[in-house]
Structure 1
């Protein structure tokens, strides 16, 4: 196995050569074998051990075992202890997720503080199979069926090509000691149930099952690569980006033979889960929204609009002097006459109708104004509906306010109560600037 491992490093992981490596060492079979392989291969390795304090004396025994091993073999060693149960409870996480978060945060801190290059973990082929089966049961799509990546950022897994049996045989042949984790024998976790009950059956059905699995994994990874390439090419035809929004052209989506697959690839990084609702959004009425934790997908007339969910700006901004630049750039100046035709970026008002200071805010339920051409007043929400404005357009619309009255739906429509006329004594021009 040593020669195969060294060949694997040379052919597939040459960037590890002469780098400073940090090995995550639990004391179990896999990580202890990897420590020996790296040492025999002449790699520069430091060890990192996390005591999660989950198994009482057994956890402390693992720590002592590793301290003795590092001292005997002259490895640099980093050890830390976590109150994992408390962290999991405080953050409402499972123990497994909490432990993962704690260790990788610490590992990356060690990289930065000690100028190390990569974190190595001892995941192997059987781990990859178990992960594949877990994802298969959860319906994670093609991504979940391509296995554990050999490299993910600074994390590298040099043993993914080797089976648990090969690793155990190497340990026996080289008299490598390790510690057994008693939790591995429990069927409390899904991974252990698969390891103890399902995987042995698969291996009995096909003695070359792991080899077949590796071939299948390679094929799936190649298929995923092709799908990713196609996704990038089609994305450019369908999606336009504006500020923080992504606009998916519905007409272009409908031309695709399987637009659902593309939407899944494009939207999954944003935390969406209601896929059937998303697929049906194409034919839904305008205004329907699908939410993830941090994003929303809105059906507009011609687009699906993806944007982050922002906290509603409820602030009221006072205009001091004759100009305000935030949240919108507005300038007020005197005018000798009304210049026509008017554009949507400016209005002329009678100064005597205004009560200063003026303010700017977003629209609120119950807001109304008095547009020209109608008797009485009109709700701003009704105006938005009549203008067929999308939700993002509504939310990004500002109002100019005088004494709690709407002077101008900025950039849209003004209120006739404030109009300047040819008989107005003091004309003010109010305009938006970029």
Structure 2
């Protein structure tokens, strides 16, 4: 097993003797064997032990065993006691999830504070099989069928090549001291139920379950590489991304019988779920304008495209008293300056207004339903909502439309149109120039 351990590390480039590695050691067989293997291979390691104080005296005895082993081996030992139950209650978490959050936050602090390159955990292949089965029961996609990753950022799993049975054999041969966590013997947790009941039944079907499963995972990983390459090509062809938005061409889904799955694979990074993906695909065939919300983003179905933006911000109204040269609201910056009648500005982003038709302070705010103004060149007022529709302004863009008003009257739909009543005329004596840009 020692040679397999070294080959596994070398084959997958998990670590080298130049690395400083922090080992997560609980005192159970798996992590104590991992400690033995790293020490036997003369790697530069330290040990981190979490005492979750969930098993009374047993938790303290686990801590004692790990500490004494580190002293005997001359290895740095770090220990932390957690108030796990109170943390779980305070944050509305299960005990398992609370322990996970606590330990990984502490591991991260240790890695940074003591300049460790890597953190090693003692997950083995049986753990990976259990993870796959759990993922399947929860409706995971293809990635969920590959089990626990060998490496995730600075975290490595150097025992994923081996099984629990092989670890038990090695531990007995090397007389590795370890302690049994009695909670592993119960069916209180989903993972334990799979370990004690499901996997033994699968072994009855296939006595070579582990080796067959490893081959299956290798095949799936190859398929995933092809999927990722094809998906990147699909993204380049049909998707445009900027800092402000993501635009997906509806034609992107024409050739797929499972358009829902393809859409979900892309929009899940914006916190949309699979059920929403199904609703979005159905809505794509209907009238444009329907929107969907995730915790972080807004997805809008437009005429020919799907537009994804972040949730619009709540912007406070800006009061401009006349002395400001530049002010900001949301993503916009507004610059004001005195101009000349002879050279009025005509761009929608750079406008000139008759200053004598304004009264300070001006107010700059987001537009609201019910707003109206007299667009330049028109004789009558128009609802701003109709003006935006006429100009084919998408729903995400509408969320960032702002107006500048004087004494409650809109004088400029910022970036779009000034009001007819404040335009430059032959009688104009003073000019106010306004420039708008995104910051």
SS in structure 2 at match of 1:263: helix
SS in structure 2 at match of 1:417: helix
Taking structure 1 as the reference length, the TM-score comes to 0.93
Residues 24-63 of structure 1 mapped to structure 2, 5 A cutoff: 24-63=24-63
- 1:401 is aligned, of 395, 402, 405, to 405
Does residue 144 in structure 1 map to residue 144 in structure 2? yes
Structure 2: give runs of 5+ residues left out of the alignment: none
SS in structure 1 at match of 2:15: helix
Identify the residue that residue 194 of structure 2 maps to in structure 1: 194
The 10-residue stretch of structure 1 (343-352 or 302-311) with the greater mean CA deviation from structure 2: 343-352
Does residue 293 in structure 1 map to residue 295 in structure 2? yes
The 10-residue stretch of structure 1 (30-39 or 367-376) with the greater mean CA deviation from structure 2: 367-376
Contact 1:331-1:433 at 8 Å conserved across structures: no
| Deviations 1:234-287, CA, capped at 9 Å, x for gaps | 111111122231111123443556544432222222221122123324324222
Contact 2:47-2:78 at 8 Å conserved across structures: yes
Identify the residue that residue 110 of structure 1 maps to in structure 2: 110
Identify the residue that residue 99 of structure 1 maps to in structure 2: 99
Mapped to 2, the partners of 1:173 and 1:239 lie a distance apart of 57
Identify the residue that residue 334 of structure 1 maps to in structure 2: 339
Mapped to 1, the partners of 2:280 and 2:187 lie a distance apart of 37
Q: How many Å apart are 1:348 and its aligned residue?
A: 4.1
Contact 1:337-1:427 at 8 Å conserved across structures: no
Mapped to 2, the partners of 1:144 and 1:89 lie a distance apart of 29
Structure 1: give runs of 5+ residues left out of the alignment: none
Taking structure 2 as the reference length, the TM-score comes to 0.92
Runs of 4+ in 1 over 6 A off after TM superposition: none
The 10-residue stretch of structure 1 (323-332 or 115-124) with the greater mean CA deviation from structure 2: 323-332
CA 347–73 in structure 1, closer or farther in 2 if over 3 Å, else same: closer
Counting matched residue pairs gives 433
CA 196–354 in structure 1, closer or farther in 2 if over 3 Å, else same: same
Mapped to 1, the partners of 2:116 and 2:324 lie a distance apart of 57
Mapped to 1, the partners of 2:413 and 2:427 lie a distance apart of 24
The 10-residue stretch of structure 1 (305-314 or 375-384) with the greater mean CA deviation from structure 2: 375-384
Residues 233-244 of structure 1 mapped to structure 2, 5 A cutoff: 233-244=233-244
Does residue 386 in structure 1 map to residue 394 in structure 2? no
Contact 2:401-2:414 at 8 Å conserved across structures: yes
Contact 1:337-1:422 at 8 Å conserved across structures: no
Identify the residue that residue 307 of structure 1 maps to in structure 2: 309
